[in-house]
Structure 1
Amino acid sequence: MPEEPYPSPHADRAGVGLPQREADRRLAEYGRNEVGRRRRTPVWSRVLAQLRDPLILVLLGALVLTLAIGDHPDAVVIGFVVVVNTSVGVTQEVRADRAVEALSAMSAPIARVLRDGVERQVAAMEVVPGDVVLLSEGDIIPADASLLESSALLVDESAVTGESVPVEKGTGGESDSVLRAGTIAVHGRAVGVVTATGAASTLGQIAALLDTKTGTTPLQRRLAGLGRILALVTIALCLVVLILGLARGQSLEVMAVTAVSLAVAAVPESLPAVVTLSLALGARRMAARHAIVRRLSAVETLGSVTMLATDKTGTLTEGSMVVEEVWTPRGAATLTGIGYAPLGEVRLRSGAEEPLAREAVRDLFVAAALCNDATLSAPEEPDGAWTALGDPTEAALLTAAGKAGIDHERLVRERPRIGEVPFDSTRRRMTTVCRTPGGDVQVCLKGAPEAVLTPGVLAEPAKLLEDARQEAARLANDGYRVLAIARTTRAQAPADPQTAESGLALLGLVAMSDPPKQSAADTLAACRRAGITTVLITGDHPATAAAVAGRLGLLTGTHPSDVGSHGHVAGRACVAGKAEAPDQQVVTGGQLAAGEIADLTRVRVFARTSPQQKLEIVQAWRSQGRVTAMTGDGVNDGPALRHADIGVAMGHRGTEVARQAADLVLADDDVATIVSAVKEGRRIYDNIRRFLLFGMSGGTAEIAVMLLGPPMGLALPLRAGQILWINLLTHGLTGVAMGAEPASPGAMNRPPRPPQQHVLGDGLWNRVLIFGALITAVSLGAGLWAEHRGGTSWQSILFLTLLTAQLGLCLGLRERLLTWENPWLPAAVTTSVTLGVAALYVPALRTLLDTEPLSGWELLPALLAAVLGLAAGREGRQRRQGGTLRET
């Protein structure tokens, strides 16, 4: 039950709020405060989308033809392939949507508002424009609002703007007084009046950019082109066979059945099943890596990606502030460790005076822990993570104090706070007064260097102040957030704590940042080896963006003067028209808005960008024919995630908007999974091309045998049933098993295939013709040899030889011949050989297929054909591999 309303202490200062009756009226007028969720796609619509696939349409046409001629067995096989392909695709989409829904959580289910002069808790969706909302530390802001009053308010806006550091909010001077829906108050208190809800809010405006993704994936475009070509070529060749057969005196019924059988043989009807199996296996592998595939085609699309646009905060970085460097007048130190766990080391720099420097560092962190309002919580489970409540900057200071061996809880018990001056945007510093065990008082102060390193605050020599300012400037230039910390001890507590902010001793400087994830550098290096261009797009400060880019190797070829002591790189603005190397550019959203950048694809780092600008950057790359991927976790990433060829969202840290806009959700937020996904995509595409090479070589050979056999004296080389049986054994179980072949060892050491390249491009057409000609020659040679000897079994010999030559080629095209990574393929080939031989000796099959049993020596051509097919496949694969390596 909801709590009873009680008089609010804010009522007198902020007014009485809206009357409940007026709030109800506005709710009816403006609607609920929620961004409309997308309607669920009905199952029938998903089924129709699957059936619109070009190759499925070709198969449906073949199904109609086989039913028309009464070939029910083959009709059953084709229908089975269509049903399986459609069922797997629809099932995967439905399961993925359910998995994403399981990750979702309402952003702000409850809001505190003033209604009729009393404070009430209402559902966030019932907040209306004009409501007075009350905010405290940890609250999610339910709607856009304007501040009426605030006290030391800091708001985490990273989900909306990409800014990694909490933003100060206030009502006076130049302070930012705008509150955005979906952001979080991490420190302080505030009262605001709601200015926009629902679709009119910041979240709603971003959601408006999330219209349904249009267009097709690279794989779909390539297969659509293939389907059109196959349909035209198949119809033309089958008409030729029909006409030539009628010209030789064959009956119309026999040649019609033969032509339709050739049509079925020429169309690789197992291709949809191969594609679906490959994608499903890829999705299963990705699920094992904590990645949820929302669309099966997304896995393959990653394999075709040529450009990766990535967000910074929470994607490439840890998403939490960490103290990395400390400077004191007696020496400097670095700290190890990530996250809020107080686990790591304080390592003194060379030249520091032991133990004076270590004592100075400890004194600094004692003061930082006392001048602090954040709290850390240990994990409830052994493998859980430490969490923080409060300002992330203050939480980072507590973590660093723990690494220095300071027990915060014991410290605050021994030195209780008796006075404080909160941080505000005007003073840019915070002061606390604590009672020491000896009865004295200790004044601790922290703040921005420019607000602390002044003679009015510090009682230090001018030389020391100048050294500290230079060190602060160096650290800031390296992309760090820098704080100065000072302290003094006095006999009596000051009447006003603010009067104690003078005559302090400088303890030193702390430099903190949101560090890159340990896996991020390796991930981006793997992308470079794979020929993928990486672009960083963030709403953060240019210097911060440049620093992270430098540490991750995105800004290569920079001048030594741009690189800080820890690999940080100072941002440099790109000026339009300058012939600056693309990887040296750091461009801001302001420059984009001013139209200073003519070609967005020449820039590698973007900072201070809006959601609309992120979308424009992705669209600029797509307009050049590049296959784009976008990773992100915030609301501000949603439009770009939706419109990229593939969007990848963080599942744990990511917002609901980002997850719903994405095609792939990384449940563990591990950016390294993207590399695995790219490898999976390339494996899938390689297997599709491998199957096409195998299936179309066999289909080409079957048509060529039927065209060339009669002029050579073989009146009707193959009967319709024999053609369909070969097709069933090669394109059926064997062809589908090819979809499970492992990835090539060099898959990630070659550039992605050009987006405009046909699925049979890069020499595959030539190889189809070469292998098809080889199988044709071997099969016709065996048939002519048997016919020349005067036997009546020449057609059965040709039938078995044509089958085994194709199966031998299938094994020869494997990435590694002697491997059990895909045991299904050798098992399928063995089964197909067995069924092929059974067609000659099982009476029922002999009657159905009109074959004759062969003697031992008559089986030799089939055996030799299998060996030749195997050898040809291995030779072609090795030549192709050598060409690929040379290209790389």
Structure 2
Amino acid sequence: MPDAVPPATVPPASPAFHTTDWHAIPHEEAAGRLGVSTAGLTPEQAQARLAEHGPNALPETAGRSPLTRLMAQFNSALIYFLLAGAAAALVLGHHVDAGVIIAVVLVNALVGFVQEGRAEQALRAIRDMISPHANVVRASRRQSVEARELVPGDLVLLEAGDRVPADTRLFRARGMLIDEAILTGESVAAAKNEAPAARDAALGDRHSMAFSGTTVAAGQGAGFVVSTGPHTQIGRIGRLIADVEPLATPLLRQVDAFARRFTWLAIASAAALFLFAVAVRGYGWTDALMAVVALAVGAVPEGLPAVITITLAIGVRRMASRNAVIRRLPAVETLGATSVICSDKTGTLTRNEMTARRLVVAAEGGPGEIAVSGIGYDPDGGLNWSGAARGDPAEVAAALLRCGLLCNDAHLHTENGVWRAEGDPMEGALVALAVKAGLNPALERGAFAREDEIPFDAAYRFMASLNRGLQGEALVFVKGAPEELLKLSGSPGGGVWEAALARAAAQGERVLGFAMKRLAGAPKRLAFDDVREGFDFLGLIGFIDPPRPEAIAAIAECRSAGIAVKMITGDHAATAGAIACQLGLAATPEVATGVEVDAASDGNLVELARRTDVFARTSPENKLRIVRALQSTGAVVAMTGDGVNDAPSLKQADVGIAMGHKGTEAAKQAAEVVLLDDNFASIVAAVKEGRTVYDNIRKMIAWTLPTNGGEVLAVVGAILFGLAMPMSAAQILWINLATSATLGLALAFEPTEPGIMQRPPRPARAGLLTRFMLWRVVFVSLLFTLAAFAIYGQAVWRGQEMEMARTMVVNTLVVMEIFYLFNVRFLHMTSITWRAALGTPAVLLALAAIVAAQLAFTYLPVMQAVFDTRPVALLDGVLIVAVGVALMIVLELEKALLRRLGLFAASDM
């Protein structure tokens, strides 16, 4: 290998050179700072530097022991709350009930234990992306070494298909394209050359660097390792992931706060009631204790945590049918609370299929513009003049179209009815364009056989092919950077082509230029001397990765739901802004770059993040700061991503959403949700399902707490007024268990209410009990209590024994819970409709189960013996059902009155 740099005389400046802008200095200077030449390091130098810098591997993080992680799952007020309910059941001798509660606690702990190590898994996934072996030159000899043994200064050889083993400053690049999607998110491979890049260049524009973990897509090159292990770009991302603290979801925060307050309130109330019963009412210690236990049993919603878990699990199943796989159960509900979605562009909002959108061709009277219809690689479409017609557009553009097809290595094929491109995405778009114009790629390539080619190289920024013409003449076709091809053609047009280029760039298009010339003779090989001048400039073709049609509709739905959508991409600002306009993010989207994010202080970034629609040319640190800035405003942020560069922000977001098709394992491990179809519309569908899940959880709470409240007030009222207990503790426990296992569970299967995506997102810091919910708890609890004492009083007044009166009270409360269930199924609209009356299969099944259970409770001798019940007469049964109907009417009137008076906002309902 010839020396590309002089022998080194300067020892490496360790460890400060890890912060050097290697991409911005000449490779000769880089070699001097590293103290190396193209002879490579000697084995002794390599060993010394390995001892100094450590292995080229990401550091292992010390995780907690399994026992510590398991015990941490029980450190929660909610868990203490559940265990208190189990203790109450044990005191009453209901071991089955206690076992169910303890089982719920253990299942929740097991789920948390399994999910605890997600951050460590994400770091391991990143570590696995470092290449296991590398080809290097040491002591003038090529050899293969383990990647972990690479050191700064090592000379690395890279070829197509290789994974780059460490951050490398290139000193030679020949036709080199590197897929950097894991770091930049861009699907088009980055062209590399050895010239210095701008010092402030974004990561995707550092053409003189090859970064660890990326893949060489084409060509070959060589360079000097400048950063290893944790100092690489991928290592920096690993540190960012490790520094991100996991966030509690809105539901878990609300449940935890509710559980703490409820636990202290229950303890205080029980203690006060116990003292009152003993000191004022003269209860014996045993009787007072049993009354307090009855109060605890009535207050504790034993089945609520289990039903919440089941509701979330049902949401997981529903979302899976919408192509969203949930990796962490609470993420179901967090999606429903989302107020900001930060989305990647390529493949999520767009099709990730380059499409030729515009042709500018040389024609009579000057360049003419031709619009191309159709999207993606599907060759269904056509060509039409944008201005005045100048003949058949396909004929006028024939030379341009043929050049694009012949100077091209891509092929199209169909897979299950979907068109795919093999090769470069822009070349695939050129093949699709040729078919739209009526050309047959196989016939054209056969008629104009290729003899030789000069592959694309970033050094000269074009590709050339030598083809045999129909009469045997030699034709040279060239495609590449328009400014380079205009030079080869003598800059024709007097600035007209430059103006067309500026218009295309302003609309976010990637533009290629095309030219051709005929050679006097037919050379066997195509040399650079053949492509230096004398070309006829054929025209320009503008490409764009078109928006997904369903993404446009989904963004409109987000706007109606009060959800802000922000695009965060590694693409150029003009391209991102143009796509944002087409997607409808805003009429005139505000665009900021990663440079502006870097320059903003944390305080200023909050306002920048709030008002900006598109962030372009962003780094992993930029994305992380943007998410944190949005969260500081109280927003619940959903973040999408697919690359290693997205992993820190995916973990930081309230809900991270990774792409299933193109997503890296590191992104999937850091996220809570994985999209199977990489489609933004699936995110919005998941948000809708999340809102439905939260609605159903609120319905269960709105149904459970008032019914339990009625039982509690009945116990409290009996003690305060010195009355007999209208129900025994065992009967209260029966009501709670029987109804929560049937009626409460039915609410988990409720379908989406109409208009759910026309509501604004609920506030992230809102409590579990809104003002309307608190009103409902008090109002319905009082209705239940009054009904219980009314039925009990009239039964006693008629001379019924206490056991019969209590049986009627239990049945009355169950019937009221049935009718209240039908009322609470629709919190935002009336429940007196055919749809509400017919119910759902889950509601009808629950209704049949609870009716059968209550008939057994009332009439089955075994149940009568256990719960001390008596058979209820037919007329008493009619009276009990009438109480339920009256409750339904009162609550529907209350709902209508509250809506008319506007006492509660939509978010409170």
Q: Residues 108 and 124 of structure 1 are in contact (CA less than 8 Å); yes or no, is this contact kept in structure 2? A: yes
Q: How does 1:846-861 map to 2 (within 5 A)?
A: 846-861=864-879
State how far apart, in whole Å, the 2-side matches of 1:670 and 1:262 are. Answer: 51
State how far apart, in whole Å, the 1-side matches of 2:616 and 2:4 are. Answer: 41
Matched, 1:482 2:511: yes
Structural RMSD (CA): 3.5
Which of 772, 790, 807 is the equivalent residue of 1:796? 807
Q: How does 1:242-253 map to 2 (within 5 A)?
A: 242-246=274-278, 247-253=280-286
Q: Residues 808 and 865 of structure 1 are in contact (CA less than 8 Å); yes or no, is this contact kept in structure 2? A: no
| Residue of structure 2 in register with 1:838 after alignment | 856
Q: Which sections of structure 2, spanning at least 5 residues, go unmatched? A: 7-36, 198-205
Q: CA deviation at 1:551?
A: 0.9
Which of 670, 674, 682 is the equivalent residue of 1:665? 674
| Residue of structure 2 in register with 1:287 after alignment | 320
| Residue of structure 1 in register with 2:14 after alignment | none
Q: How does 1:27-38 map to 2 (within 5 A)?
A: 33-35=56-58
Compared with structure 1, are the counterparts of its residues 241 and 858 closer, same or farther at alpha carbon in structure 2 (3 Å cutoff)? farther
| Residue of structure 1 in register with 2:882 after alignment | 864
| Residue of structure 2 in register with 1:232 after alignment | 264
| Residue of structure 2 in register with 1:637 after alignment | 646
| Residue of structure 2 in register with 1:365 after alignment | 401
Q: Residues 412 and 428 of structure 2 are in contact (CA less than 8 Å); yes or no, is this contact kept in structure 1? A: no
| Residue of structure 2 in register with 1:332 after alignment | 369
- SS of residue matched to 2:217: strand
- SS of residue matched to 2:369: strand
Residue type matched to 2:866 in 1?
Answer: L
Compared with structure 1, are the counterparts of its residues 653 and 90 closer, same or farther at alpha carbon in structure 2 (3 Å cutoff)? same
- SS of residue matched to 2:680: coil
State how far apart, in whole Å, the 2-side matches of 1:25 and 1:408 are. Answer: 57
Q: Which moved more, 1:110-119 or 1:176-185?
A: 110-119
| Residue of structure 1 in register with 2:237 after alignment | 206
State how far apart, in whole Å, the 1-side matches of 2:641 and 2:148 are. Answer: 26
Q: Residues 691 and 756 of structure 2 are in contact (CA less than 8 Å); yes or no, is this contact kept in structure 1? A: yes
Q: Which moved more, 1:850-859 or 1:665-674?
A: 850-859
Which of 499, 502, 521 is the equivalent residue of 1:492? 521
Q: Residues 810 and 873 of structure 1 are in contact (CA less than 8 Å); yes or no, is this contact kept in structure 2? A: no
State how far apart, in whole Å, the 2-side matches of 1:672 and 1:237 are. Answer: 49
| Residue of structure 1 in register with 2:497 after alignment | 468
Compared with structure 1, are the counterparts of its residues 385 and 639 closer, same or farther at alpha carbon in structure 2 (3 Å cutoff)? farther
- SS of residue matched to 1:182: coil
- SS of residue matched to 1:51: coil
Q: CA deviation at 1:690?
A: 0.8
Q: CA deviation at 1:767?
A: 1.2
Compared with structure 1, are the counterparts of its residues 164 and 842 closer, same or farther at alpha carbon in structure 2 (3 Å cutoff)? closer
Residue type matched to 1:326 in 2?
Answer: L
Q: How does 1:281-680 map to 2 (within 5 A)?
A: 281-330=314-363, 331-339=368-376, 341=377, 343-351=379-387, 353=389, 355-372=391-408, 374-376=409-411, 378=413, 382=416, 386-389=420-423, 391-408=424-441, 410-418=443-451, 420-425=453-458, 427-454=460-487, 457-458=489-490, 460=492, 464-493=493-522, 496-556=527-587, 558=588, 584-595=589-600, 597=604, 599-600=607-608, 601-680=610-689
| Residue of structure 1 in register with 2:221 after alignment | 190
- SS of residue matched to 2:630: helix
| Residue of structure 2 in register with 1:570 after alignment | none
Matched, 1:273 2:314: no
State how far apart, in whole Å, the 2-side matches of 1:798 and 1:194 are. Answer: 81
Q: CA deviation at 1:445?
A: 2.3
| Residue of structure 1 in register with 2:289 after alignment | 256
Compared with structure 1, are the counterparts of its residues 105 and 627 closer, same or farther at alpha carbon in structure 2 (3 Å cutoff)? same
Q: Residues 93 and 294 of structure 1 are in contact (CA less than 8 Å); yes or no, is this contact kept in structure 2? A: no
The normalised TM-score by structure 2 is 0.85
State how far apart, in whole Å, the 2-side matches of 1:496 and 1:336 are. Answer: 37
Q: CA deviation at 1:226?
A: 0.9
| Residue of structure 1 in register with 2:195 after alignment | 172
State how far apart, in whole Å, the 1-side matches of 2:328 and 2:349 are. Answer: 24
Q: CA deviation at 1:526?
A: 1.6
State how far apart, in whole Å, the 2-side matches of 1:850 and 1:244 are. Answer: 28
| Residue of structure 1 in register with 2:843 after alignment | 825
Matched, 1:810 2:839: no
Q: CA deviation at 1:398?
A: 3.5
Q: Which moved more, 1:616-625 or 1:129-138?
A: 129-138
Q: CA deviation at 1:79?
A: 2.6
Matched, 1:698 2:707: yes
Compared with structure 1, are the counterparts of its residues 26 and 385 closer, same or farther at alpha carbon in structure 2 (3 Å cutoff)? farther
- SS of residue matched to 1:705: helix
- SS of residue matched to 1:763: helix
Residue type matched to 1:618 in 2?
Answer: V
Compared with structure 1, are the counterparts of its residues 103 and 286 closer, same or farther at alpha carbon in structure 2 (3 Å cutoff)? farther
Residue type matched to 1:141 in 2?
Answer: V
| Residue of structure 2 in register with 1:568 after alignment | none
Question: What does the per-residue CA deviation read over 1:666-722, in whole Å, with 9 as the maximum and x for residues that have no partner?
Answer: 122122111121112111211111111111101111121122245667322222112
Q: Residues 85 and 302 of structure 2 are in contact (CA less than 8 Å); yes or no, is this contact kept in structure 1? A: no
- SS of residue matched to 2:549: coil
Residue type matched to 1:209 in 2?
Answer: L
Q: Residues 489 and 533 of structure 2 are in contact (CA less than 8 Å); yes or no, is this contact kept in structure 1? A: yes
Q: Which moved more, 1:196-205 or 1:832-841?
A: 832-841
State how far apart, in whole Å, the 1-side matches of 2:297 and 2:3 are. Answer: 78
Q: CA deviation at 1:804?
A: 1.9
Residue type matched to 2:259 in 1?
Answer: G
Q: CA deviation at 1:123?
A: 5.6
Question: What does the per-residue CA deviation read over 1:584-638, in whole Å, with 9 as the maximum and x for residues that have no partner?
Answer: 4211222222338552222221112221111111111111111111111122222
Residue type matched to 1:215 in 2?
Answer: L
State how far apart, in whole Å, the 2-side matches of 1:790 and 1:677 are. Answer: 58
| Residue of structure 2 in register with 1:79 after alignment | 102
Residue type matched to 1:268 in 2?
Answer: P
Residue type matched to 1:682 in 2?
Answer: R
Residue type matched to 2:879 in 1?
Answer: P
Residue type matched to 2:166 in 1?
Answer: A
Residue type matched to 2:502 in 1?
Answer: A
The normalised TM-score by structure 1 is 0.87
State how far apart, in whole Å, the 2-side matches of 1:684 and 1:874 are. Answer: 23
State how far apart, in whole Å, the 1-side matches of 2:187 and 2:93 are. Answer: 68
State how far apart, in whole Å, the 2-side matches of 1:361 and 1:507 are. Answer: 8
Q: Residues 345 and 568 of structure 2 are in contact (CA less than 8 Å); yes or no, is this contact kept in structure 1? A: yes
Residue type matched to 2:812 in 1?
Answer: T
State how far apart, in whole Å, the 2-side matches of 1:102 and 1:824 are. Answer: 42
State how far apart, in whole Å, the 2-side matches of 1:496 and 1:62 are. Answer: 85
Which of 736, 760, 766 is the equivalent residue of 1:751? 760
Compared with structure 1, are the counterparts of its residues 72 and 422 closer, same or farther at alpha carbon in structure 2 (3 Å cutoff)? closer
Q: Which moved more, 1:160-169 or 1:697-706?
A: 160-169
Residue type matched to 2:792 in 1?
Answer: G
Q: CA deviation at 1:484?
A: 1.8
Compared with structure 1, are the counterparts of its residues 876 and 548 closer, same or farther at alpha carbon in structure 2 (3 Å cutoff)? farther
User: Between Structure 1 and Structure 2, how many residues are aligned?
Assistant: 847
State how far apart, in whole Å, the 1-side matches of 2:444 and 2:145 are. Answer: 40
State how far apart, in whole Å, the 1-side matches of 2:491 and 2:110 are. Answer: 76
State how far apart, in whole Å, the 2-side matches of 1:811 and 1:37 are. Answer: 55
| Residue of structure 2 in register with 1:770 after alignment | 779
- SS of residue matched to 2:309: helix
